[in-house]
């Protein structure tokens, strides 16, 4: 057997009980959230569920990071007493084994577990991909942080102290690069992940712990410095939404009142801006909106339906029941009181949401005061 895989297998055997428990937590949470959001209609229930899910999300992410740190500490990179140091195991092989193990245990295996839940929730291929990228990015960031802390720390105690500090430092560098008070999570995490991966490689490659720490600190500063010229390009790349286009967000079947799932804008580089979801379903993957930094569900959208009998648009007054965020999944539920006179045909009616007039222009001006093409 390939020696790298042999080391991965050793880590699997070591952490198997803990990893299985972690997988159970992930699968259990996904199933639990899915089933609960389908059956919960009241705002108080949904708010309680949101808190519960947030707690599980935190537990899932933190546990994953700690498990990764633990696996790194099992074969400490900078130790004069670690077993591997006097065995025919090179540093690069150890790095390869730990990286491969992290990918398999903390990214690939959980995604395989989540796949059936997402498929059952009716995800399209693009939803699935977006959700997988979102999940992998968040988890990858946490795991890379855990690994980095495990590589640099001497024991789990140092990991508990160091990992949050490292996380803050990485996000701080990323936020500074973006130079915004609230950087888009995807961007920050991608940058943080990149820095963490470089740090892990340095940690395993360099024999001296002090030198590895120094390289990582210098690496932070270099990445931050190199990021400056990227800023103007970054602004060029940012999308903005169609200002007035009505967004078809769902279908309502049966009689009023209805619970409707809602999502907001998305950016499509091909120019098809705005339209994100066409069907009502209890679970919707939300790709974080670049303009609003994932706050799309807070937009004061106006919901309308076209009265099938008259064909005229009718404004609905929405009442948001709550939002559940589960890693890449964000579900907002709205209570829409349909007009009493409205006759809903058997094949349902279409529901539209329109951003308030001038919304997109305001967002655009707030973010790019000098315009995209000064």
Partner 1 sequence: MNIIETQGLTRRYGRQEAVHALDLVIPAGGVTALLGANGAGKSTTIKLLMNLLAPTAGQARVLGVDSRKLGPAQFRRIGYVAESQELPLWMTVGGFLNHCRPFYPKWDRDLERTLLNQLDLPTDRRLNQLSRGMLMKAALLSSLAYRPDLLVLDEPFGGLDPLVREEFVRGILEVSSLGDWTVLIASHDIEEVERFSERIVLLDTGRKRIDESVEALQARFRRIEVSLHDEPSADATQDLPPGWQEFSRAGQLVRFIDRAYSPATTEAACRARFPSAAIAAHPMTLREIFITLARAGRAEAKLAAA
The tokens for 87 are 């065995």
Q: Using CB under 8 A, which of 39, 88, 157, 371 touches partner 1?
A: 88
To partner 1, the closest distance from the beta carbon of 14 in angstroms equals 6
What are residue 259's DSSP bridge partners?
335
Q: Using CB under 8 A, which of 35, 44, 58, 83 touches partner 1?
A: 83
Q: Using CB under 8 A, which of 93, 281, 293, 320 touches partner 1?
A: 93
To partner 1, the closest distance from the beta carbon of 67 in angstroms equals 15
Q: Does 270 bind partner 1 (CB under 8 A)?
A: no
Q: Does 319 bind partner 1 (CB under 8 A)?
A: no
Give the residue with the Cβ less far from partner 1, 80 or 270.
80
Binding residues among 205-224 for partner 1 as defined by CB under 8 A: 207-208
Q: Does 1 bind partner 1 (CB under 8 A)?
A: yes
Q: Does 373 bind partner 1 (CB under 8 A)?
A: no
Give the residue with the Cβ less far from partner 1, 11 or 127.
11
Considering only 7-15, 221-229, 274-282, 310-318, which stretch makes contact with partner 1 by CB under 8 A?
7-15
Class of residue 221 by CB neighbours under 10 A (exposed 0-12, middle 13-18, buried 19+): exposed
Q: Using CB under 8 A, which of 39, 86, 270, 347 touches partner 1?
A: 86
Q: Using CB under 8 A, which of 67, 89, 159, 216 touches partner 1?
A: 89
Give the residue with the Cβ less far from partner 1, 207 or 272.
207
To partner 1, the closest distance from the beta carbon of 76 in angstroms equals 8
Q: CA 56 to CA 326: how far, in whole Å?
A: 9
Q: Does 80 bind partner 1 (CB under 8 A)?
A: yes
Question: What is the binding site for partner 1 (CB under 8 A)?
Answer: 1, 3, 6, 10, 13-14, 74, 79-83, 85-90, 93, 207-208
């Amino acid at each position: 057997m390939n020696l790298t895989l042999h080391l991965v297998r050793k880590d699997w055997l070591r952490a198997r009980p803990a990893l299985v428990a972690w997988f159970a937590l992930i699968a259990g949470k996904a199933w639990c959230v899915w089933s609960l959001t389908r059956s919960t209609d009241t705002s108080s229930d949904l708010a309680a569920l949101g808190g519960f899910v947030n707690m599980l999300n935190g537990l899932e992410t933190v546990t994953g990071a700690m498990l990764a740190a633990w696996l790194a500490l099992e074969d400490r990179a900078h130790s004069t007493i670690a077993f591997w140091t006097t065995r025919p195991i090179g540093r690069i092989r150890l790095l390869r084994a730990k990286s491969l193990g992290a990918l398999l245990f903390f990214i690939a295996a959980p995604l395989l577990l989540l796949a059936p839940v997402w498929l059952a929730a009716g995800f399209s291929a693009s939803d699935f991909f977006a959700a997988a990228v979102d999940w992998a990015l968040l988890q990858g960031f946490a795991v890379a942080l855990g690994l980095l802390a495990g590589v640099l720390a001497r024991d789990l105690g140092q990991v508990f102290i160091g990992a949050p500090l490292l996380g803050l430092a990485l996000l701080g560098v990323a936020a500074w690069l973006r130079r915004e008070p609230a950087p888009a999570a995807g961007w920050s995490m991608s940058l943080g992940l990149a820095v963490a991966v470089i740090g892990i490689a340095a940690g395993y490659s360099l024999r001296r712990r002090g030198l590895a720490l120094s390289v990582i600190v210098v690496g932070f500063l270099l990445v931050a410095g190199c990021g400056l010229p990227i800023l103007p390009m970054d602004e060029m790349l940012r999308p903005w939404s169609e200002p007035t286009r009505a967004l078809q967000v769902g279908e309502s079947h049966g009689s009023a009142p209805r619970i409707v799932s809602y999502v907001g804008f998305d950016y499509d580089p091909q120019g098809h801006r705005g339209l994100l979801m066409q069907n009502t379903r209890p679970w919707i993957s939300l790709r974080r909106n670049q303009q609003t930094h994932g706050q799309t569900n807070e937009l004061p959208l106006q919901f309308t339906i076209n009265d099938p009998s008259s064909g005229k648009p009718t404004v609905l007054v929405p009442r948001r029941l709550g939002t559940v965020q589960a890693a890449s999944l964000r579900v907002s539920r709205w209570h829409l009181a349909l007009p009493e006179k409205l006759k809903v045909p058997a094949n349902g009616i279409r529901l539209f949401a329109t951003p308030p007039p001038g919304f997109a222009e305001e967002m655009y001006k707030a973010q790019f005061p000098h315009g995209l093409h000064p």
